Every structure is written in C-alpha cells, then in structure tokens.
Structure 1
C-alpha cells in the first residue's frame, strides 16, 4: 500500500510540476509564435500580430487565468485538448469560446483595463455582454 501511495504522490508531484512549467516565460508557451505553430490558429495569430495588443500582451495574458496554479492548470488543460485535436485531426472548423474561456477573457479584460472599468463595471453581469462582444476586432477578426 505504501508503494502505491508513494508512486501516486510522485505522479501527482510530476503532474503539478509539468502544469507549472506552462507558466515559465522562458519556454514561450504563451507567445503567438508558439500558438501559431498549429495551422488552425494562423488567422488568429495574423490578426493578433496586427493589433495594438501585440505590444503589451501575449496570448496567455488574455486567454489564461493569471494565478500561478489556476493559470497553469487551465493552460495545461487547454493545451492538452488542443494537442489531442491536432493529433487526431479533429480540429473544429470554427474555433469558438467555451463558457469558461469567456469568463477568463472577461476577467482579463477587467484586470488589464481596470482604470476605465472602475467607472463602467463588469459589463457581463446581469445577462450583459462580455467586453469582447463589442471589441473582438481589436485583436481578432470575427
């Protein structure tokens, strides 16, 4: 029983360490150059590269939660899902945001633009629209 617990703890530790590695800037896993390696993302990378956000934010700044553990876990989950889709050739024709990713995007809009958002508030509350509904073309074409 101790052996099973020991190996379980080792696997959990390794998994946690791998998850945290997604957050290391030196690996570049949040940069457009990494995200653009998949042909299905080329339009998104091209539009990002011509947006004002390219000067101040990378892909992970908008698309991942900013906590070390929450961001690492989310990046590991979405990265694994995307890798699976590429390997199995099941990439959706149109890339759409999930409800969870909509919340992540909205939270990051609020975090980066908190100066103006203090006056406006969270636009998605009470069945309102997320920031990117009106401002999507600032970074990516519809």
Structure 2
C-alpha cells in the first residue's frame, strides 16, 4: 500500500492537481465570458434607456429616432385619447404581453442598431396577429359580428387594419 509520500501517491496528487487547475481555469473563463456579456448587456440596456420601455408611456418609443414619425401620427389618430402603444402592439394576456415586449425589444434594438430594417417600418406577421387581437379585445361586440360575416364571405383572414389603416397612425 502506497504511503503518503510514495512516488505513486505523489503522481496521483499531481494528476489531481492538474485536473483541478484545468477545471478552475474553465470556470474562470466561463465567469469572465458571462461577466463580459452581462456587462455589455447592462451597458446597452442603460444606454438605450431600456427601463423606459417597461413603462406604458408612448414617448418611450421615441427613444429610437426612427419611431418619431409613428409617435407623431399616433397623436393625429382617432385612438390617441383612448389607447397607447402597448394597448395595440402588445398582447392583453399578462404573460403574452411580456413575451411580446421581450421579443420585440430584442429584435427592434438589433435591427435599429445594425440599421437592418425596411424603411418605412413594416409590421411583421406575428405582430399583425397581436394588433388584430388588440382590436377584437377592445371592440369585442362589433368584432364578433364582423368576424362572423367575414368568415362566410372572404377567402383571406379578417384584418381590421386592412380597412382601418389610419386608426392607430393617421399619416397626413
């Protein structure tokens, strides 16, 4: 049986020391990478006034200069006294609201930072569904009747904004 100071025991200690050093180095590199990513994320969130997007204030949307025209046209719309951006562009379901907000926040900031978006801005299909659901949420009585009639007479899905395009943003 090897003693504490025997060559076999020393060899085992050296191997264990190398293993623990390698694992320690891997953890240190992982911690540095996570710290760097977290730091860049926090800086970006602060620089982009990310906390303002957690509010219900429509002016927060103008933190991005490309949204100023949309904010201005909302001010000219028939709904600006009764609805803000979140009312039409986020789900009314509590979890869906935050999922949509996170999804849009990430992809909007990415597109605007990289200047990789269509000009003028176009609503994406998934957001068109959210907006359609917002219309039917607030106008449930009339929407139910209209949806019933449209299902029997049209081949494409009903979309409130198709006929009421200036309700949320009145371009003049």
- Normalised TM-score (structure 1): 0.71
The separation in 2 between residues aligned to 1:69 and 1:75, in whole angstroms, is: 10
2:107 corresponds to which residue?
81
Aligned length: 118
1:132 corresponds to which residue?
161
Provide, for residues 65-118 of structure 1, a one-character-per-residue CA deviation record: whole Å limited to 9, x for no partner: 111111101111101111112222324322111111111111111110112123
Alignment partner of 1:75: what SS? Answer: helix
1:11 corresponds to which residue?
none
Cα gap change, 1:122 to 1:48, in 2 (>3 Å): farther
The separation in 1 between residues aligned to 2:58 and 2:162, in whole angstroms, is: 22
Q: Aligned match of 1:52 in 63, 68, 78?
A: 78
Q: Aligned match of 2:132 in 77, 102, 106?
A: 106
Give the 4+ runs in structure 1 shifted more than 6 A.
none
Provide, for residues 37-72 of structure 1, a one-character-per-residue CA deviation record: whole Å limited to 9, x for no partner: 211111111010122211111101101111111110
Structure number with larger C-alpha Rg: 2
2:38 corresponds to which residue?
none
Contact kept, 8 Å, 1:124 with 1:131, in 2: the verdict is: no
Cα gap change, 1:88 to 1:128, in 2 (>3 Å): closer
Q: CA RMSD in A?
A: 2.5
Alignment partner of 1:54: what SS? Answer: coil
The separation in 2 between residues aligned to 1:139 and 1:103, in whole angstroms, is: 15
Q: Is there any run of 5+ residues in structure 2 with no aligned partner, and where?
A: 1-50
1:16 corresponds to which residue?
none
Cα gap change, 1:58 to 1:65, in 2 (>3 Å): same
